[in-house]
Amino acid sequence: MFKVGLTGGIGSGKTTVAGMFAELGVAIIDADVTAHALVAKGQPALLSIQHTFGDSILQTDGTLDRAKLGNIIFADGRQKKRLEAILHPLIYANLQQQIDALKVSYCIVVIPLLFETNMRHFVDRVVVVDCPVECQIGRVMARDQHRPEKIQAIIASQVSRVERCAKADDLIDNSILPQKSLAEQVKTLHNLYFRLSMRHCR
Ligand SMILES: Nc1ncnc2c1ncn2[C@@H]1O[C@H](COP(=O)(O)OP(=O)(O)OP(=O)(O)O)[C@@H](O)[C@H]1O
Ligand SMILES: [Mg+2]
């Protein structure tokens, strides 16, 4: 199996681009979706979180109080590390299980924090969805109604645009006026990944 990691900063367009690969029939596995599923009510990861952060991290219906947990880890780097120590190994192990169950020559694994978690080795190739920071902020503000300062703080907590692009094998330009349309860029890369996956399985 040839694994392509798809990453990019907040609001850069990862989910949009992954949807375009999916339309071409490519298998998509998503770390955000996986992370959500792992902390569903009754899951072992949620019990670990409860054990670490206390019962008040749960809502009355027993589900995770995401806003509360978000505020705790945003305010305290040590707490963020404790949460990551619980979740990251479980997420990557679960991603690998999903990959192992696939019967395709290549898949796209959407991993927003691929570089931040130092997991470049998890995939065979990396595609970065890129756009200017102002564009990220504008799109996330429109989508989530967050204040710009909050989005800027999240961007500051991620690797820089320069570092991310330097580490990419392939770049997808998702700025407002890209050189080539998103669909064209995705199609070109799909052809490349298919060819590489054929070589990979030989
Ligand atoms: N080329 C584009 N033109 C216009 N809007 C776009 C474009 N690409 C993405 N968007 C919009 O910008 C927002 C962010 O895109 P998307 O959700 O795909 O980013 P993301 O990288 O998955 O974000 P996150 O890091 O929060 O998961 C969405 O509302 C999406 O519809
Ligand atoms: Mg997304």
Tens of pLDDT, residues 34-82:
999 999 999 999 999 999 999 999 999 999 999 999 999 988 999 999 9
118 burial (CB, 10 Å; 0-12 / 13-18 / 19+) is exposed
Structure tokens at 101: 């169950």
Please compute the mean of the pLDDT values over residues 4-11 and round it to a whole number: 98
Question: Comparing 44-48, 73-77, 111-115, 129-133, which segment has the lowest mean pLDDT?
Answer: 73-77
Q: Both tokens of residue 137?
A: 């902020």
DSSP secondary structure of the chain: -EEEEEE-STTSSHHHHHHHHHHTT-EEEEHHHHHHHHTSTT-HHHHHHHHHH-GGGB-TTSSB-HHHHHHHHHH-HHHHHHHHHHHHHHHHHHHHHHHHT--SSEEEEE-TTTTTTT-GGGSSEEEEEE--HHHHHHHHHHHH---HHHHHHHHHHSPPHHHHHHT-SEEEE-SSS-SS-HHHHHHHHHHHHHHHHHHHH-
For ligand 1, residues with CB inside 6 Å are 8, 10-16, 112, 139, 143, 174, 182
In the numeric block, the tokens 């500051």 are attached to: 156
Q: Which two tokens stand for residue 150?
A: 């909050």
- Cα(157) to ligand 1 centroid in Å equals 19
Q: Which two tokens stand for residue 119?
A: 């997991």
Query: What is the residue with the minimal CA distance to atom 11 of ligand 1?
Result: 139
Residue with tokens 């691929």: 114
**pLDDT digits 0-9 by tens, 161-194:** 999 999 999 999 999 988 899 999 999 999 999 9
Question: pTM of the entire structure?
Answer: 0.95
**CATH of the domain spanning 1-26+106-202:** 3.40.50.300
Ligand 2 center from residue 75 Cα (angstroms): 23
- Residue type at 11? G
Please tell me the distance between residue 135's alpha carbon and the centre of ligand 1 in angstroms. Answer: 10
Nearest CA to ligand 1 atom 25: 10
Q: In the structure encoding, which two tokens stand for residue 181, read together?
A: 């349309």
Q: What's the gap in Å between 11 CA and the centre of ligand 2?
A: 7
Indicate where the chain has its CATH 3.40.50.300 domain(s): 1-26+106-202
For the stretch 91-101, pLDDT in tens is 999 999 999 99
- Closest to 158 (Cα-Cα) out of 140, 144, 145, 176: 140
Q: Pick the range with the lowest mean pLDDT from 86-90, 144-148, 183-187.
A: 144-148
% of the chain exceeding 70 in pLDDT: 100
Q: What value, to the nearest 5°, has the Cα angle with vertex 148 and ends 91 and 77?
A: 45
Q: What is the pLDDT of residue 50?
A: 97
Among 10, 109, 139, 146, which residue has the most ligand 1 atoms within 8 Å of its CB, making it the best to mutate? 139
| Atom number in ligand 1 closest to CA 144 | 29
* Ligand 1: residue whose CA is nearest its atom 10: 13
Q: What is the pLDDT of residue 116?
A: 96
Mutation test of ligand 1: which of 12, 16, 115, 129 has the most ligand atoms closer than 8 Å to its C-beta? 16
> What are the b/e assignments for 99-112, b being 16+ CB within 10 Å?
beeeeeebbbbbbb
Please give the distance, rounded to the nearest whole angstrom, from the Cα atom of residue 117 to the centre of ligand 1.
Answer: 22
